[in-house]
A and B are shown apart, each in its own frame.
Chain A
Amino acid sequence: MFLLEKIVHSPQQSEKIARQLAEKLSPGDVVALHGELGTGKTFLVKAICRFFKMSQEATSPSFTIINEYFNQRGLYIYHFDFYRLENEAELQNLGLDEFFYADYICMIEWPDKIQNFLPESRWEVYLNFIDDEPQAREIRIEKKGD
């Protein structure tokens, strides 16, 4: 299911898109965030965490692999970054199914590195640079599976 495709020209506009996505998210949802370094994947997670009033500011989990955020209403968001993953064998120490098939929201940076583990039903978010406009991004959001 296609949700939206838009070119944004400022972080404020990106934040607005993030809020639009957040309004559609519910516990159990998995969001795969595709985009090169610097396209704003972590920014989007930060904005979604602000929308849900998480108790912690989202930070990049590049070194921790997984960050956990929660709010006063008992919502948990797990934020993954698989940039440093060298092969999928490293995943056996993480127990990913427990995150992806539970009532948490999971946001995954560099999801291509864990293709075999992603649930079929998920949100796909694509972030791309726009030539000659450093602040601008092309954002495409779609829902896969049921």
Chain B
Amino acid sequence: MISLEKEIYLLGIEASGLTSAVCLSREDQLLGMVSLNIRNIHSRKLAAITQELLDHTGLKFTDLSGIILSAGPGSFTGLRIGYSLAKGLAHPLNLPLIEVPTLDIWAHQNGRTDLPVLSVIDAHREEIFCAKYSWQENDLKRINDYQLIPIASLTKYIAEKTVIVGGDLLKLKAEIGELLGERAVFPYPLEQDPDCHSLCYLGYKKFVNQETVSANDCEPMYMRAFKGVM
């Protein structure tokens, strides 16, 4: 049973893409973050910046109430490193893990809009991971399942003017813009890394709703079925 009586500190880990980031929140308020946008650095720096962040904030691992993970879909290697760190910390400390789908983070961080929101992440091979959302008052609601679709099928998938957000838009914007024409509305400037504020906010909401998993039970959202031939 999660106790809400003591002060709640949550560690957030973002390693689902290029960004290596860790953040600490007191409830849903961000206390601090360390973020690096340098490729191939997760395995070398993620644990180190976690310790650094705790040192800066004066907190100890034993002060934590849970660990929030950006759960993917995204980089296979990055997700595995992020999950390894989280499981390694959670297991001995008996901490719950809170998994926040990375598509939710992208949709949330771009803020409220009256238009529907499509969150996308590049899946390579001319495919994208995506999900649709709408803002209802100050709540972000996902309105369909997380999907892996050919990017060309967006023309059928998006019927009305929609805000397109996501992690790989620098690469995908031109193609999506061409496919959807005026139906595609892109934020300006395009954000290039998932936001720790949104990770903490969405993670804390799940934490208080007791939507947590144990270190033994958590698994990244890879979403792509294995294509090999046995």
> Using Cβ atoms and an 8 Å threshold, which residues of chain A touch B227?
116-117
In the complex formed, the residue of B with least CB distance to A94 is B76
Q: Is the CB of B230 within 8 A of A101?
A: no
Q: Is the CB of B77 within 8 A of A89?
A: no
Interface residue range, chain B: 10 to 19
Say if the beta carbon of B6 comes within 8 Å of chain A.
no
Q: Is the CB of B76 within 8 A of A95?
A: yes
Whole-angstrom CA separation of A100 from B77 in the bound complex:
13
> Using Cβ atoms and an 8 Å threshold, which residues of chain A touch B228?
87-89, 91-92, 116-117
Number of A-B contacts (CB under 8 A): 35
In the complex formed, the residue of A with least CB distance to B74 is A98
Interface residue range, chain A: 10 to 19
Q: A residues 105-143 with Cβ under 8 Å of B? A: 116-117, 119
B interface secondary structure, majority: loop
Q: Is the CB of A89 within 8 A of B125?
A: no
Q: Is the CB of B76 within 8 A of A116?
A: no
Q: A residues 48-99 with Cβ under 8 Å of B? A: 68, 76, 87-89, 91-92, 95, 97-98
Q: Is the CB of A98 within 8 A of B76?
A: yes
> Using Cβ atoms and an 8 Å threshold, which residues of chain B touch A68?
40
B68-84, CB under 8 A of A: which get 1 and which 0?
Answer: 00000001110010000
Q: Is the CB of A97 within 8 A of B125?
A: yes
Q: B residues 8-49 with Cβ under 8 Å of A? A: 40
17 residue pairs A–B, Cβ–Cβ below 8 Å: A68-B40, A87-B228, A87-B229, A88-B230, A89-B226, A89-B230, A92-B228, A97-B124, A97-B224, A98-B76, A98-B77, A98-B124, A101-B124, A116-B228, A116-B229, A117-B228, A119-B125
